[in-house]
Amino acid sequence: MTQLRISISSSREQFDAFAARLAQELDADMVLSSPGYPAETTSVVGVHPEQELLFTEQTTPEAVKHFCFDTPGVALGYVSYTYGMLLRGIASDKPNNFPLGHLKKYRGWVEYNAEQGATVISAADQSMLDDLADRLNTALGSAPMLPVKGLPKGAPVVSLDQAGYEAGVSETLERILSGHTYQLNLSTKFSWNCPDLDPLALLLVLRRDHPAPFYAWMQSGQHRVLSTSPERFIRVSDGHVLSQPIKGTLRVDKHTPEAEAQLVNSPKERAELSMIVDLIRNDISANCEYGSVEVRNHLSVFAVDTLLQMYSDVHGKLRAGRDCLDLFFDAFPGGSITGCPKLSSMTIIEELEPHSRGLYCGSMVVIRDERNMDSSIAIRTAVHDTDSGAFDLYAGSGIVVDSDPAKEYQETMAKAEKFLTLGDA
């Protein structure tokens, strides 16, 4: 299929207004980057989907590769944590009404490159190209955001309350001492009934008030995905591989050098990150050139919401004969949200958590071709079911041998805070 393309000089404010308008008027799907973060990337919006791949238990990584690579154009969507369990051979009998994965390809898509200050519009025909360009040029005059309708009120139903979560941490510590894992991510699920919620309006308000490296919005059947993730899983850019695992969290009122030093100098938080960096190095090495995998900027810190987050850059070079999806599926799901060793930790997670994670801890992905891809870890991510009205959010923390159950619960609540306080606005 021939693609027409045009590049238009644009500010970020103009692109953001344009993207919101496309989501409101054309049911667009979006992965949006925010400025100033170490994971800043190209924002992508897809309109007029023409192909889709809805994952089932029979969907193989090879089938995903055919969908993404056999025809030109970006593929945008998600791969669930539950699909990652299938890849690792971990069975589950928990109810799960969320798709295992969903990718779409589009007749038109737009990308914003902040370094070049330009919006690139690609479209299947001249009419669509002209329409999208007109919408971009008039985007700044679009209607202002209105109050979000149908916000969750009251306390959510939780899969693990404070006592249950702390008991899960204590059980995890027993598993660590018995040698079955040495770091494990334990989560809880928060659920509300919000039949009148306007999820897109909520996402746009969250993006305005709580910037984060990877915002995403996707319509998947009756589900609406609202992702506000701070964490990159894997990017492949012309074969150059970058993973940026996050481990180590500190809630602060203000990002100060003293607070940053407190996080960086914590033996527990340093150990958490170093364990996961080792895991990621191992996960990507099989698909990278020998000797190319290295760690840079170890123990770096950035702020998102009221949290300081510690991260590292893990680089590599994709081997000849391998593609970005070989790398993605061999490393999936990300080690920062499983723990390590990965297989044993995932097995224990399935035993200790009473809920199915679904999309949570999976990935939002943008796949361009065999050697170009970007993906986030789907944390700080909520799903609204427009049929049932259910609005579900998850949060968790990484547990190591010197974890304190009460502190791990507090960290989990801090990560969920921007969603937990929505009804108070």
Q: Which residues have a catalytic role annotated? A: 231, 247
CA 110/CA 220 separation, integer angstroms: 20
Pair 334, 398: CB distance under 8 Å: no
Q: Which amino acid is at 66?
A: H
Please tell me whether residue 207 adopts helix, strand or coil conformation. helix
Give 92's Cβ-side CA count (13 Å radius). 26
Sorted by sequence, the CB contacts under 8 Å of residue 141 that are 6+ apart come out as none
> 148: which residues sit within 8 A by CB, 6+ positions away?
197, 198, 201, 202, 205, 422, 425
Taking the C-alpha atoms of residue 348 and residue 363, their distance in angstroms, rounded to an integer, is 21
- Please state, as a whole number, how many other Cβ atoms lie within 10 Å of the Cβ of residue 44: 23
* 376: CB partners within 8 A, 6+ apart: 31, 39, 213, 214, 216, 227, 229, 231, 232, 233, 363, 364
Q: Which of these, 340, 341, 312, lies nearest to 245 by C-alpha position?
A: 312
